[in-house]
């Protein structure tokens, strides 16, 4: 009977192991910080234009081109009369003004003088998903880090896989991601990377641990003792 019980446990453990996901192909360790660094480049966090921003454009002497309702679309493009379509994502207002001046002077207005400013911006947020106590969308600040992002989500649960916390980020229009070991960050053995507006933090779940806990909860205690008799 004892051998039968041990066999039953072995089969259960094997099934749990088969349910575990394989390793993620995303970079981890020191390579993760190449994608999501401890401090993001200035062009990602500074005074640059982002999707949803509303811009004021002033063209000296050209009231038909001057306005306060130029909105950057979700792809980072901006439409300006006589100028056409501009890619303005992660560009400063000064850079955008210079490009508008260049295009206007090339075909329409000699010595064009243009100013651009951001007058309205949607609230900057990031998302935390997965095995945390309260997943959701949270405000992103200049000093938001991975640990503070998880704290806003009321921390990972007991079944979270702390060495498989993934941060997804849009970089140059492409979705990139990296894996971080939160336990190492908490112990000061790894840097706490900066979280930017638009990032998504995904906390993985320990499939084997969850399956084992569910197995224990679904099996009466005396049945477990019976298995190993």
Question: pLDDT for 6-32, tens place per residue?
Answer: 334 443 444 444 444 555 678 888 888
Predicted structure pTM score? 0.58
> Would you state the structure tokens that stand for residue 150, as one six-digit string?
């998880």
| 157-181 per-position pLDDT tens digit | 999 999 989 999 987 767 899 999 9
Query: With 60 as the cut, is the pLDDT of residue 46 above it?
Result: no
Give, as one character, the DSSP assignment of residue 20: S
Specify whether 81 is located in the same domain as 182. Answer: no
Give, as one character, the DSSP assignment of residue 100: H
Specify whether 160 is located in the same domain as 213. Answer: yes
Task: Give the residue numbers spanning the domain of 139.
Answer: 2-43+124-225
Predicted confidence at residue 29, as pLDDT, reads 86
Which segments within the chain are labelled E, that is strand? 54-59, 67-71, 77-80, 84-87, 114-120, 125-130, 136-139, 160-171, 174-180, 200-205
Specify whether 116 is located in the same domain as 103. Answer: yes
Specify whether 80 is located in the same domain as 98. Answer: yes
**What is the pLDDT confidence band of residue 68, given thresholds at 50, 70 and 90?**
very high
**What is the pLDDT confidence band of residue 121, given thresholds at 50, 70 and 90?**
confident
Specify whether 149 is located in the same domain as 195. Answer: yes
Predicted confidence at residue 48, as pLDDT, reads 82
Specify whether 32 is located in the same domain as 133. Answer: yes
Structural domain count of the chain: 2
Specify whether 27 is located in the same domain as 131. Answer: yes
Specify whether 130 is located in the same domain as 221. Answer: yes
Query: With 60 as the cut, is the pLDDT of residue 201 above it?
Result: yes
* Of residues 212, 208, 182, the one with CA closest to residue 195: 182
């Amino acid at each position: 009977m004892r051998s039968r019980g041990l066999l039953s446990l072995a089969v259960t453990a094997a099934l749990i192991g088969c349910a575990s996901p394989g390793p993620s192909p995303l970079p981890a360790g020191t390579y993760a910080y190449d994608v999501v660094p401890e401090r993001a480049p200035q062009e990602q966090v500074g005074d640059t234009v982002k999707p949803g921003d509303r811009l004021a454009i002033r063209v000296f002497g050209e009231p038909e081109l001057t306005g306060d309702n130029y909105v950057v679309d979700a792809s980072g493009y901006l439409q300006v009369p006589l100028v056409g379509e501009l890619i303005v994502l992660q560009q400063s207002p000064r850079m955008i003004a210079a490009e508008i001046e260049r295009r206007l002077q090339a075909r329409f207005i000699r010595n064009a003088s243009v100013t651009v400013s951001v007058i309205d911006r949607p609230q900057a947020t990031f998302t935390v998903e997965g095995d945390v106590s309260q997943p959701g969308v949270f405000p992103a600040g200049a000093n938001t880090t991975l640990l503070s992002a998880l704290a806003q989500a009321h921390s990972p649960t007991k079944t979270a896989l702390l060495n498989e916390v993934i941060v997804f980020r849009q970089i140059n229009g492409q979705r990139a991601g990296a894996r971080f070991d939160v336990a190492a960050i908490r112990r000061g053995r790894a840097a706490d990377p900066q979280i930017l507006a638009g990032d998504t933090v995904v906390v993985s779940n320990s499939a084997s641990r969850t399956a084992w806990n569910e197995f224990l909860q679904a099996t009466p205690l005396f049945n477990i003792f019976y298995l190993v008799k």
